[in-house]
Structure 1
Amino acid sequence: MQQDGLILELQKGNQRAFERIYEFYSESIYGIIYSIVHDEKVAEEILQDVFLKIWENSASYNSDKGRFFTWILNIARNASIDQIRSKSHKNKQKNLKADNFVDILENKSHFSAKTDAIGIKKYIDILKPVCKKLIDLLFFKGFTQKETAEELEMPLGTVKTKNRACINKLREMLVE
């Protein structure tokens, strides 16, 4: 069954279609979640929550608004960011500094598998270092633009402008 047919079956409540989608996407989505939360147990819990949301909200997916994987990725990213912004997570991480984390965009063994899984590694490698850092912090680690500005010690407006330029550059490369 093709992906479009699988998605339609999911939207009709077909449990087998849901299982196939889980088999197809769970590893990639887990990788993205883990790259944000840095905790296997928490990542596994979020993954289950994400697929529950996919099951419950499949009718809200609209192919005219974007790819199915992007829709799932946004659910996973938002759930991960919600987790790291939660009070319990912040309390657990209180004594850790940003230096204790390895940047996933620079760590080839870790990041390579994640970006290969979603097919953007070759495009990320082409980006300027500042773009890699911005995308890492904003999209993979879930930093807000303000937190990114503080981390990179640059004005908030500069972060916003550079982020927009980097995303546009990435978008141009992906569309070519």
Structure 2
Amino acid sequence: MDYHVTYTEAELVQGLHARDQKVFSFLYDHYSPALYGVIVKVLNDHTQAIDVLQDVFLKIWRYADQYNEDKGRLFTWMLNIARNTAIDVLRSKAYKLEQKIQNITDDVHLNGGPLTVYQSVDYLGFSKVLDKLTKEQRTLIDLAYYKGCTQEEISRALDIPLGTVKTRLRNAIIQLRSILNK
């Protein structure tokens, strides 16, 4: 792949709609690290994240016609696909069963030491942006976007009214937008 080739967002969208494999390869090469970082943040499992990343790019390829430029940028659309796919995996019965099995094997010690513990890695550098939010806002963003909790689940977990969760989450997103647009 020639890494000196660049595309505008319009060219990427047009190439995706035309099913141009060079454009798709460019997207994968340039955006997979960021999407992988989001997936790992949600799942906290590097091995599972690799599989989910492949599913994400299949969805991007299959549903490219559903991208609407009026609703947001291409990267944001792909990021939402990655996050939603990871959350779907997190909520799936198979994943929950796998985690129960994994928890059992975590209790087993090999050569006198515990099994490998994965470090949380911030692939996007997004934690610096989140640090500019209040602790309350960071908690809401973490629960909603990285843990995949619904607003109702957040309301129960934090023991605050649903309307308050919605308002505070909306304010946190507005604050994030203003930070990112600076």
Give yes or no for the alignment of 1:2 onto 2:3: no
Q: Distance in 1 between matches of 2:168 and 2:22?
A: 43
2:51 is aligned to 45
Q: Is the 8 A contact 2:144 2:151 kept in 1?
A: yes
Give structure 2 stretches of 5+ with no counterpart: 1-5, 104-118
SS state of the match for residue 148, structure 2? coil
Q: Distance in 1 between matches of 2:128 and 2:69?
A: 25
Deviation at 1:14, TM superposition (A): 0.8
TM-score between the two structures when normalised by the length of structure 1: 0.81
Residue by residue over 1:18-38, the C-alpha shift from the partner in whole angstroms, topping out at 9 and shown as x without a partner, is 011000000110110011011
Equivalent positions of 1:2-151 (< 5 A) are 2-4=7-9, 5-94=11-100, 110=120, 113-116=122-125, 120-151=126-157
Relative to 1, partners in 2 of residues 1:149 and 1:92: Cα closer, same or farther, differing over 3 Å?
Answer: farther
Q: Distance in 1 between matches of 2:163 and 2:58?
A: 37
1:172 is aligned to 178
Structure 1 segments (4+ residues) deviating >3 Å: 92-96, 120-123
Q: Distance in 2 between matches of 1:174 and 1:43?
A: 26
2:3 is aligned to none
Deviation at 1:125, TM superposition (A): 1.7
Q: Is the 8 A contact 2:44 2:120 kept in 1?
A: no
Deviation at 1:151, TM superposition (A): 2.9
2:161 to 126, 149, 155: 155
TM-score between the two structures when normalised by the length of structure 2: 0.78
Deviation at 1:8, TM superposition (A): 1.3
Aligned sequence identity (%): 43
SS state of the match for residue 131, structure 2? helix
Q: Distance in 2 between matches of 1:174 and 1:6?
A: 22
- Aligned residue pairs total 160
Deviation at 1:92, TM superposition (A): 3.3
Give structure 1 stretches of 5+ with no counterpart: 97-108
Residue by residue over 1:130-172, the C-alpha shift from the partner in whole angstroms, topping out at 9 and shown as x without a partner, is 0011101101121111222233333333222211121122223
Q: What amino acid does structure 2 have at the position aligned with 1:114? A: Y
Q: What amino acid does structure 1 have at the position aligned with 2:19? A: G
Deviation at 1:121, TM superposition (A): 4.4
Larger radius of gyration between Structure 1 and Structure 2: 2
Comparing both structures, which one devotes a greater share of its residues to helix?
Answer: 1
